[in-house]
Amino acid sequence: MNTEVIELDTDSDIELSGVLTDEQGRVQALWASISSQLFGCGKEGDHQFVVGIPIHLISQVLEKIISGAPGPFRLINGIRRPMPFVRLLEVEIYPTLLTEASNYGLSDRWVQALAEKDPERRQVLQIIGCFAGSKAETLCEGDMILAIDKKPITCFLDIENACQKLDHSVGSDGMLNMTIFRQRLCWKSHP
């Protein structure tokens, strides 16, 4: 979830696994089958996709495991090992084109700032759901994430990097300083 993946145009229905490399043979992604739940457009239910999962996502977690970063102990391949904490923003987000965000009322100033940061994508990340019981429950469906620590955010990697930066911040309370655009009142029911 919340990951940009690599997709290839192929006429083959064969599901292969392996790696994707650059011209020098350096691994860029794991080629694997993933499952996702789709809703709408007559495609409800679980669907399998073959995609490239960027290697930086996997290497971040592996580095923490190898270095023995603290975390709760888990049984991994029959050996009891610490499973490190991995920080993430506990929301499901989806990229929205800046032209569409402008139609929702996002100011021209923010549209320009986000377009300057990432002229290729020209997008803002919009929240489509929050994890129940998480600290992110103050965020609402439809909120647009504009910046973290006053730096414009335009892709999933920007958010991942901001979350991982909390691990290296002395005295961090684990909270992100976010700039959010909310187009309407947010109603939440709490038991």
CATH number of the domain within which 152 lies? 2.30.42.10
Our count of domains for the chain comes to 2
Give buried/exposed letters for 96-131 (b at 16+ CB in 10 A, else e). bebeebeeeebeeebbeebbebbeeebbbbbbeebe
- Among 41, 59, 82, identify where a domain stops: 82
Look at residue 106 and tell me if it is in a domain: yes
Which of 34-43, 109-118, 176-185 is predicted with the least confidence, judged by mean pLDDT?
A: 34-43
88 vs 13, more confident: 88
Res 191 pLDDT > 60: no
Per-residue pLDDT for 14 more than 70? no
The pLDDT value recorded for residue 83 is 82
Q: Please check whether residues 106 and 166 belong to one and the same domain.
A: yes
pLDDT in tens, 113-123: 999 999 999 99
Q: For residue 171, is pLDDT > 90?
A: no
> Do 95 and 130 belong together in one domain?
yes
Claim to verify: residue 95 and residue 162 sit in the same structural domain: yes
Give the other-Cβ count within 10 Å of 178's Cβ. Answer: 19
| Same domain, residue pair 23 and 67 | yes
Among residues 82, 111, 136, the one where a domain terminates is: 82
Q: Where among 53, 82, 111 does a domain terminate?
A: 82
pLDDT at 12: 58
Residues 101 and 129 in one domain: yes
User: What is the pLDDT of the chain when averaged over all its residues?
Assistant: 83
- CB-based burial of residue 7 (10 Å sphere; 0-12 exposed, 13-18 middle, 19+ buried)? exposed
> pLDDT grade, residue 190 (50/70/90)?
very low
137 and 72 co-located in one domain: no
Tell which wins on pLDDT, 37 or 191: 37
Whether residues 52 and 107 share a domain: the answer is no
Q: What is the arithmetic mean of pLDDT over 10-29?
A: 81
How far apart CA 110 and CA 10 sit, in angstroms, is: 37
| 17 and 75 within one domain | yes
Predicted pLDDT of residue 117 = 96
**Could you tell me the residue range of the domain that residue 59 belongs to?**
6-82
Comparing 69 with 41, the larger pLDDT belongs to 69
